Amino acid sequence: MQKSLSSFTRLLTLKLSYFYGTYTQYMIDKQKILITVLMPVFNSELFVKQAIESILNQSHQNFEFLIINDGSTDHSHAIISSFSDSRIKYVNNELNKGIVNTLNQGLTLSMGHYIARMDADDIAMPDRLSKQAAFLYANPSYKLCGSRAVAIDANGKEINNLNRPEHSAEIKVFNLFRNAFLHPTIMADAEVLKKFAYSEDFKYAEDYFLFSQITMAYPVANLNERLLHYRIHEESITSKKREEMVQSELKTTAYLLSFLFDKVDEQSLLIHHSILRPEGTDFSSQEVEAHLINILKANRERQVFDQKVLRKQLQKDWFNYLLKSDNKSLLNKFLKSGLFTVSNLNLKQIVKLLLK
């Protein structure tokens, strides 16, 4: 009886110890800031109020809202200052530092376990933070999570849906040709984001290079939900700084192709980039096809990307390239490409590609 009671006491002590240890850790975690929402602002007086309100009204409440006003010359400062909320951490840069320096300033100041990006002209859906945080918490090996979005104009009118691939293998392949993430939709592991950070050498495509690095190192995802209204208007960076953006895209492409080829020559780089931006290029369909086949062959040897997913993406890009050309024998040329094999030919898939 004495021995049995002693065993019961030890078991009870262990259970209580576990309970109080777990409860203590729970209370510590509750006091931690789970998410930092990082939003740089520059001359965004027309939209910043709505952007701020969309974050403050999130269903998930455990976050800090780090707003950095990067030397705005309009009424942005006054609008931001009009909000009184303990979750807002406001930094007002007297001089404009530029988007890359401001984003890295935000990474340094952030206290959250996750960092969510937000732009001052966009609108977050009420459950955005809760859904992305839940995904990352449930899948700790995943270090970056974006979502789909709805494009809106300056007046808030919906223009179209912005889709991105969901799964890591698809994202990795898609990203080889174009950014697989919509920057203001992402939430990422803070430690990983700070390790890579934004690079001034990739200005105006700094997100593409950063996310490319993370995508090549960790599992990533895009939620199959539209968690943001993504505003497109005349003041967008992509409209004003096109040439610098193109140069940064080329450097990002060179980085990604280096996983497949020991040396990436300028001609191959330009052909590859023409798939993203075909306007103004004069490469022949034979040159483009040969480049895509080389990618498929190189990956067969190095196994960087899922070969089946890669082949499907290459076929899709090849067809879209032909579609934009004046090729008279489009279907015949498409089906006879070395991007197809006999076992790979699938009428249903071909029809789907043609109709997409």
Q: What is the pLDDT of residues 290-319, one digit of tens each?
A: 999 999 999 999 999 999 999 999 988 888
27 is a domain residue: no
Tell whether the model's pLDDT for residue 12 goes beyond 70: no
Does residue 99 sit in the same domain as residue 149?
yes
Domain residues for the domain of 333 are 258-355
Residue 9 banded pLDDT, cuts 50, 70, 90: very low
Number of domains in the chain: 2
Using the CB atoms, write b or e for 115-136: b if 16+ within 10 Å: bbbbbbbbbbbeebbbbbbeeb
Task: Find the mean pLDDT for residues 201-209.
Answer: 96
Q: In the predicted model, what is the mean pLDDT of the chain? A: 87
Residue 195 sits in the same domain as residue 85: yes
Judgement on whether residues 265 and 211 belong to the same structural domain of the protein: no
Query: Does residue 94 fall inside a structural domain?
Result: yes
pTM of the model: 0.85
Residues 72 and 207 in one domain: yes
Give the pLDDT score at 282.
79
| Judgement on whether residues 280 and 320 belong to the same structural domain of the protein | yes
- pLDDT of the residue at 328: 55
User: Which of 20-24, 141-145, 194-198, 318-322 has the least mean pLDDT?
Assistant: 20-24
Instruction: Please indicate, yes or no, whether residues 165 and 97 belong to a single structural domain of this protein.
Output: yes
93: CATH: 3.90.550.10
Cα dist from 188 to 45, 127, 292, 330, 344, whole Å: 28, 16, 31, 42, 36
DSSP of 186-198, one letter per residue? -EEEHHHHHHH--
Query: Each residue of 102-156: pLDDT tens digit?
Result: 999 999 999 999 999 999 999 999 999 999 999 999 999 999 999 999 999 999 9
Determine the Cα–Cα distance for residues 169 and 149; give it in Å rounded to an integer. 21
Both 227 and 296 in one domain: the answer is no
| In-domain check, residue 23 | no
Q: Are residues 170 and 279 in the same domain?
A: no
| pLDDT of amino acid 334 | 65
pLDDT category of residue 342 using cuts at 50, 70 and 90: very low
